[in-house]
């Protein structure tokens, strides 16, 4: 009984607040009533006019409201949207749905609700059982599979043998040099993959021509084989460098790992002390920024940017200079590297983490 009386007092207080709100508008309150066992459903039953009240006795329940003192702002009055109510509403014909919405939310033909609340993962009565769960985003890990350089003037270069893991993204960074013309975009084959895709490419080191090309390739397979990767150019090159990485925990959708690749960007510079590739904020905190830098140097001269881990650096080691460096970091979209003033080019790629639904 005590709890019932408390509930009645709370209901009375809410009605009184609604009445006061209306009273400030037009000094009158309209009473609507819904009652079990009757035909009253949000039915207008009476109009109340506000009058001065004498001092009540201590036995009378009274809520005192001082309009000169304010605390919280009331932004609206509304109700909860439960699963059961939503499902029932959905099954009604359009005319009845309109009638219900009007009765609740129309300020003239209804009770003028202005808010509705719905709690995620909370349900009352429902026609079927269900479970609210959250997805899981994998952590990406990187493994260096092979890296190398070949200073022989030729069209075809071969990497070391690799054996990629199933459903892991494989990236191949390639730096080419041609002493007389713009290096063409190469093609890749082998490495236990059926196909390779170009993700990003840029040329740099102008002089009279862009003499160097920097390119990133990707591949992904549910059942990869093993073997060396063949890098093929349509023109003979002075030298070629490569860095091959494996990325586990990536998005596996798309063709050749396309779903694992987010945004890409490129930049170049002449006689610069480093380069920065600025990606937009990454799509998930577990996504990875992968950077590749090519520099006109025969020796290893690249220092990774703050927060980045160097994967490998592969210089040409000959009089025809070329230095390839790769680095990565989780959720750092600004990819940078520094060196003494040299000509250079850079590529940046966002690698997406895999999201698993329970």
DSSP-based three-state secondary structure for 30: strand
Q: What is the CA radius of gyration of the chain?
A: 35
The predicted structure's pLDDT at residue 121: 57
Alpha-carbon distance of 301 to 288, in angstroms, equals 24
- Structural contact between residues 303 and 339, judged by C-beta atoms closer than 8 angstroms: yes
What Å distances lie between residue 29 and 34, 37, 74, 111, CA to CA? Answer: 16, 25, 18, 12
The pTM (predicted TM-score) of the whole model is: 0.67
**Full strand arrangement of the beta sheet holding 187-190:** 154-162, 227-237, 187-190
The predicted structure's pLDDT at residue 64: 76
Q: What is the pLDDT along the chain (358 residues), one digit of tens a residue?
A: 445 454 445 444 455 555 455 544 456 788 888 888 888 887 888 888 877 778 888 888 888 778 788 887 888 888 887 777 888 888 999 999 999 999 989 988 888 899 888 766 555 666 776 666 678 999 999 999 999 999 999 999 999 999 999 999 999 999 999 988 899 999 999 999 999 999 999 999 876 677 899 999 999 999 999 999 999 999 999 999 999 999 999 999 988 889 999 999 999 999 999 999 999 999 999 999 999 999 999 999 999 999 999 999 999 999 889 999 999 999 999 999 999 999 999 999 999 999 987 6
The predicted structure's pLDDT at residue 132: 64
- How does pLDDT run across 151-169, given as a tens digit for each residue? 999 999 999 999 999 999 9
């Amino acid at each position: 009984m005590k709890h019932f009386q408390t509930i009645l007092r709370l209901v009375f207080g809410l009605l009184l607040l609604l009445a006061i709100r209306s009273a400030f508008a037009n000094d009158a309150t309209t009473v609507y009533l819904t009652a079990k066992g009757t035909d009253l459903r949000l039915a207008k039953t009476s109009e109340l006019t506000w009058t001065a009240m004498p001092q009540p006795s201590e036995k009378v329940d009274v809520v005192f409201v001082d309009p000169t003192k304010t605390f919280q702002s009331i932004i609206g009055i509304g109700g909860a949207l439960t699963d059961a109510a939503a499902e029932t509403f959905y099954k009604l014909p359009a005319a009845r749905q309109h009638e219900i919405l009007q009765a609740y939310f129309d300020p003239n033909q209804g009770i003028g609700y202005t808010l509705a609340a719905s709690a995620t993962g909370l349900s009352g009565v429902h026609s079927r059982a269900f479970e609210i769960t959250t997805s899981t985003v994998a952590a990406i890990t990187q493994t260096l599979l092979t890296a190398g350089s070949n200073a022989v003037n030729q069209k075809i270069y071969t990497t070391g043998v690799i054996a990629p893991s199933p459903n892991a993204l494989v990236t191949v960074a390639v730096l080419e040099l041609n002493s007389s013309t713009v290096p063409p975009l190469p093609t890749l084959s082998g490495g236990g993959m059926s196909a390779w895709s170009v993700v990003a490419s840029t040329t740099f080191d102008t002089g009279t021509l862009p003499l160097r090309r920097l390119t990133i390739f990707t591949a992904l397979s549910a059942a990869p084989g093993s073997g060396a990767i063949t890098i093929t150019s349509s023109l003979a090159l002075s030298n070629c460098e490569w860095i091959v990485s494996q990325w586990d925990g990536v998005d596996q959708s798309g063709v050749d790992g396309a779903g694992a690749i987010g945004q890409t960007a490129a930049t170049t510079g002449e006689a610069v002390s480093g380069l920065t590739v600025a990606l937009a904020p990454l799509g998930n905190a577990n996504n990875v920024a992968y950077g590749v830098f090519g520099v006109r140097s025969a020796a290893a001269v690249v220092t990774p940017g703050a927060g980045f881990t160097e994967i490998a650096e592969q210089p040409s080691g000959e009089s025809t200079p070329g230095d390839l460096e790769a680095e990565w970091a989780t959720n750092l979209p600004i990819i940078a590297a520094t060196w003494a003033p040299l000509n250079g080019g850079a590529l940046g790629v966002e690698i997406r983490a895999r999201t698993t639904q329970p």
